[in-house]
Structure 1
Amino acid sequence: MSINLHSHAFAGNPLRSKTPKSGDPFSPSQALGTLKTRLLDSGHVAASPDFKVLLFRKGRPLASSSEGIWKLGWIGLWDCKELLAKSGVEMVGDSVVYLGSTAEEDVVYWAVDVSGENGLVPELGGRRSSFVELRTLMVATDWADEDAMGQLAIAGHARALLEWHNVSKFCGRCGEKTVPKEAGRRKQCSSDSCGQRIYPRVDPVVIMLVIDQENDRALFSRQSRFVPRMWSCLAGFIEPGESLEEAVRRETWEETGIEVGEVVYHSSQPWPVGPSSIPCQLMVGFFAYAKSLEINVDKEELEDAEWHSREDVKKALVAAEYKKSQITAAAKVEQMCKGVEKGQNLAADFNVESGELAPMFFPGPFAIAHHLISSWAFQDAVGGGQARLKQPSGSFSSL
């Protein structure tokens, strides 16, 4: 059966990113002012709000792991300051990025990039920590665990902001250096004659499951970078002056020669695990109904594309395989945090425990492609039929 999620991976961030309000200690500007004051103090002053910091190195957040469950490696402000000082790094207010606060705690959360300090892997509270690739944490996250999904969303938000800061060091209008403003929520050109304001941007990407209604099948593609047996939905960037629906039709036609008619929105997902040059994408998912069926693959874009029946797709959506992949990735994270001995390999990639490998599989439940495919494949199981796909709800109750 299909896997239920309240929200996609990287969505549902539990931290509130507040708009600036005068006198609010949890607003970005007020919190940053308080943080700078405390960094100048020589003693430890316990006061509200408290501050917690998440270190990143080369896009990887600091994480710890115990019994197969990973957590973000939050560090108290003073521990962070002392830790960086030991490595010869001075923690300053302009180097941190505001992430938000929680409703239950008097805590403000920050992120800081320490990519220049390759040896910075602290041992905190008796537990080893490690800088772990966000994609690895994504696969290792138990998608049924709401807290774990929230941690992943925070890490994704933080990585996107820090990577945006790394690629926006200079003004695109005049070429002068930029400086962070509003606790890292935006940047501004340092030139008085320019003063260009720069905000984080999200690059929209359409991702579509192309459906042949008459023959009850869907179109799947392979790229050369995919691992063996993996297939997924078509996807592509939106061009200037183009609507989402137009992008779906154009990309499908360019890559497979299939003409698309009706395009129906399904859901969207922030995707902060792409290349560092694109800090965050917004995957916008659609069902696209085919008007033609003959495939003509653009070999510069795709390795192959094929129609597959609903029954074949159901067989490929084996939840046990995805669960084992999650457990294997979680074991990798734990080994990384403990420190893998020289010559010792990390946990091997997952395989089906018994029997032959399935002829095909799809991206896991952390990807919107999985839910587009699952929603179509199991539409009869939720009693929706074709009408359900034509009028998808805003929730994931139909997945």
Structure 2
Amino acid sequence: MAIRLPAHAFAGNPLSLAKLVQSPNSALDKLKSLLLEGPAEYSTPEVKILVLRKGRPLVRSLDPVADSTPIWRLGWISPSQVKEVSLDSFVYLGSGKEEGEAYWAVDVTDAATGRLGSGSDGLHFVELRTLMVAADWADAGAMGELSIAGHARALLDWHRTSRFCGYCGTITSPIDAGRRKQCSDESCKKKIYPRIDPVVIMLVIDKENDRALLSRQSRFVPRMWSCLAGFIEPGESLEEAVRRETLEETGIEVGQVIYHSSQPWPVGPSSMPCQLMVGFFAYAKSLEIRVDKAELEDAQWHSKEGVKRALTVTDYGKAQRTAAMKVNQICKGVDQGQSLASDFKVESEKHSPMFIPGPFAIAHHLISSWAHAESLPGDQFSSASSL
């Protein structure tokens, strides 16, 4: 069945919501002292580090009890375990609710970190997409950890791709505990702020409101259908992007465009991995489909009843349990494979000619909101109104 969530996956970061009890720069001073001081200082438990390698966060998995599903959690470590990493490589994620509690992330892809994440200590680097599927969607703690991991990956990826000033080409340096960067040329000194790529994602609906336009890309697993999506051009509004992308990819002309909700998406393609998905309902003014084969494998109108059936017979809980077991095996060093194919074997015993992305994706909520005739344009994610 379609699954309802109190917030989108990767949203609701508990660190960003927590009241800051210390400034980023004071937290940086403390981290610096911990990295430079002797071993006695390394016992400070309130300073926690999340390490990532090639975009994969370090995690641990708790073994299942009886018939329960394994639970993964972020593998926070102490500063002493990454003391060989440059201070400039750390980014401040936020503070906890207690005084002195600080959370950091660091990319150790090019660092010598010994056996960290080898599985011998119960910790392993796991693909964020796999963790996304494996997270217990009913567990607020698990979803909070997922959003922290997504934030860390997005911030570290921004550091990787903003090494040089876009104004003069000089190398940049981190400031404000890694939350900003600044050109190192004294004559320039431009400050650079984290950026993400906005993407419109839209469910196109016919005039009678009984069919939705769904598409397939060649990279999709077999029989998966989803919403149209596309990047925003300079000087273009969100609504204009929805209309243009729909027309370019499918030949369908769109009229009214209504906002639904938005979702951070730090698991995009390698060329643009960190995106903000901005979701809309869009009402078609034409019906004839002309697919741009350079963009899509196919696009078709699907009836509301057909979509309901797909949502009903797809076992999203099975997908979550399968992925959670996979993470558990990876953390034990048993399964080093990171293929996502098995994560999407989500069908129940009943067969459907199609299935919809899982509840970790905004596409799921756009489609299920429409299929189950909930009031449009909004639901629990938004007090949406027509833009």
Q: Does 1:203 align with 2:201?
A: no
Q: Which residue, out of 31, 43, 60, partners 2:27?
A: 31
Give the structure 1 partner of residue 73 of structure 2.
Answer: 71
SS of residue in 2 equivalent to 1:247: helix
CA-CA distance at 1:192 after TM superposition: 0.8
Q: Does 1:362 align with 2:373?
A: no
Give the structure 2 partner of residue 293 of structure 1.
Answer: 287
User: For each residue in 1:245-303, what CA deviation from the matched residue of structure 2 results, as whole angstroms up to 9, or x when unmatched?
Assistant: 01001100111111111000000000011134425211000000111111111111111
Change (3 A) 1:130 1:32: same
Q: Distance in 2 between matches of 1:228 and 1:70?
A: 28
Contact 2:265 2:276 in 1 (8 A): yes
Q: Does 1:316 align with 2:292?
A: no
User: For each residue in 1:351-382, what CA deviation from the matched residue of structure 2 results, as whole angstroms up to 9, or x when unmatched?
Assistant: 46764532100111000000000100112xxx
Contact 1:164 1:279 in 2 (8 A): no
Q: Distance in 2 between matches of 1:283 and 1:353?
A: 26
Q: Does 1:56 align with 2:52?
A: yes
SS of residue in 2 equivalent to 1:6: coil
What amino acid does structure 2 have at the position aligned with 1:395? F
Change (3 A) 1:26 1:118: same
Give the structure 1 partner of residue 41 of structure 2.
Answer: 45
Q: Distance in 1 between matches of 2:356 and 2:3?
A: 13
Give the structure 1 partner of residue 7 of structure 2.
Answer: 7
Change (3 A) 1:119 1:183: closer
Contact 1:18 1:27 in 2 (8 A): no
**Structure-2-length-normalised TM-score:** 0.90
CA-CA distance at 1:215 after TM superposition: 5.8
Q: Distance in 1 between matches of 2:121 and 2:39?
A: 26
Flag structure 2 segments of 5+ consecutive residues without an equivalent: 64-69
What amino acid does structure 2 have at the position aligned with 1:42? G
Change (3 A) 1:121 1:213: farther
Return 241-250 or 114-123, whichever deviates more: 114-123
Q: Distance in 1 between matches of 2:205 and 2:100?
A: 49
SS of residue in 2 equivalent to 1:100: strand
Q: How many residues align?
A: 377
Contact 2:329 2:335 in 1 (8 A): no
Return 277-286 or 294-303, whichever deviates more: 277-286
Give the structure 1 partner of residue 220 of structure 2.
Answer: 226
SS of residue in 1 equivalent to 2:242: helix
Q: Distance in 2 between matches of 1:307 and 1:346?
A: 27
Q: Distance in 2 between matches of 1:39 and 1:299?
A: 54
Q: Which residue, out of 297, 300, 310, partners 1:303?
A: 297
Matches within 5 A, 1:336-347: 336-340=330-334
Q: Does 1:389 align with 2:376?
A: yes
Matches within 5 A, 1:148-297: 148-214=142-208, 216-297=210-291
What amino acid does structure 2 have at the position aligned with 1:63? V
Q: Distance in 1 between matches of 2:313 and 2:49?
A: 35
CA-CA distance at 1:193 after TM superposition: 1.2
Q: Distance in 2 between matches of 1:342 and 1:8?
A: 29
SS of residue in 1 equivalent to 2:41: coil
Q: Distance in 1 between matches of 2:254 and 2:121?
A: 53
CA-CA distance at 1:164 after TM superposition: 0.6
Contact 1:252 1:259 in 2 (8 A): yes
CA-CA distance at 1:393 after TM superposition: 5.0
CA-CA distance at 1:117 after TM superposition: 4.2
Q: Distance in 2 between matches of 1:341 and 1:198?
A: 40
Q: Distance in 2 between matches of 1:119 and 1:337?
A: 17
User: For each residue in 1:326-360, what CA deviation from the matched residue of structure 2 results, as whole angstroms up to 9, or x when unmatched?
Assistant: 111111111111012799x9995564676453210
Q: Distance in 2 between matches of 1:303 and 1:140?
A: 28
What amino acid does structure 1 have at the position aligned with 2:245? E
CA-CA distance at 1:48 after TM superposition: 7.8
Contact 2:85 2:111 in 1 (8 A): no
Contact 1:269 1:368 in 2 (8 A): yes
**Structure-1-length-normalised TM-score:** 0.87
SS of residue in 2 equivalent to 1:358: coil
SS of residue in 2 equivalent to 1:230: coil
SS of residue in 1 equivalent to 2:16: coil
What amino acid does structure 1 have at the position aligned with 2:49? V
Contact 2:49 2:104 in 1 (8 A): yes
Change (3 A) 1:162 1:352: closer
CA-CA distance at 1:162 after TM superposition: 0.4
Contact 1:17 1:99 in 2 (8 A): no
Contact 1:324 1:350 in 2 (8 A): no
